Amino acid sequence: MTNFEKAFRELILIEGGYVNNPYDPGGKTKYGITEKVAREFGYNGDMKMLPLELAEEIYEKLYWTPYKFDLIRNSKIASELFEFTVNTGDGKLASKILQRSYNVLNKNIQLKEDGIIGKHTSDTINMYKFYKSLFKTMNIFQGMFYIALAESDKETLHNMRNHKETAGSDSRKTFIRGWIDKRVSL
C-alpha cells in the first residue's frame, strides 16, 4: 500500500460520510469533498452517492500530488501533511510547518521554510531519525493554528503563514526533543 493510500484511508475515518452542516461554508460534503469540488471534477449526481473512488482521485490530484508528499517516505509524516492540507486547503502551509518543526528540533542543518517539498527538504526529512518528535512538533503547530482560527486571532494566523526563519538558541535546542517527547501528549 502506498503512502497516499494509507493517508487516504486515515483521512476518510476523520472526514466521514455525507454531511450538510449549516455552519459549514462548504455546504453538502461527502468524505470531506464539497459539492462545488465534486462538480468541478464532473460529478453531477446526488452528493450522498459520491463514489469513494472519485473522492480518492480528487484528494490525490488536489491535496497530495501538487505538494509532492510522495517524496516523504515516513507514512505518518506524509499522512499528517496530507490531513492538514485537506483541512486548511493549504499544502504550502503544511509544508512550512514540516520545515519549521524540523528547524525547531535541529541545531545543525536548517531547512528553508518556503513551503516547498523539494529534493533538499525531502532528503533531509527522510534521513531524520527523530520522527516521533517531528510528528509531535507538527501537531503542536497545527494546534496553534486551530486555536488561532477558533479565536479569530488574525495576527497568529498571519504569523504562522508568513513565519520567517529564525536561528533559535542552540543551548535550548539540546533539550527540545525531550520536552516534546516527554511533556506533550499526542
pLDDT tens per residue across span 146-166: 888 888 889 888 888 887 666
How far apart are alpha carbons 110 and 65 in whole angstroms? Answer: 25
pLDDT tens per residue across span 95-131: 999 999 999 999 888 899 999 999 999 999 999 999 9
| Domain ranges across the chain | 1-67, 74-186
pTM, to two decimals: 0.87
Give the number of residues written for the chain.
Answer: 186
At residue 76, the pLDDT reads 96
β-pairing verdict for 29-30 and 33-34 = antiparallel
Which is nearest to 142 in space by CA: 185, 181, 88?
Answer: 88
Listed in sequence order, the DSSP H helices in 16-69 are 35-40, 52-59
Provide the mean pLDDT of the chain: 90
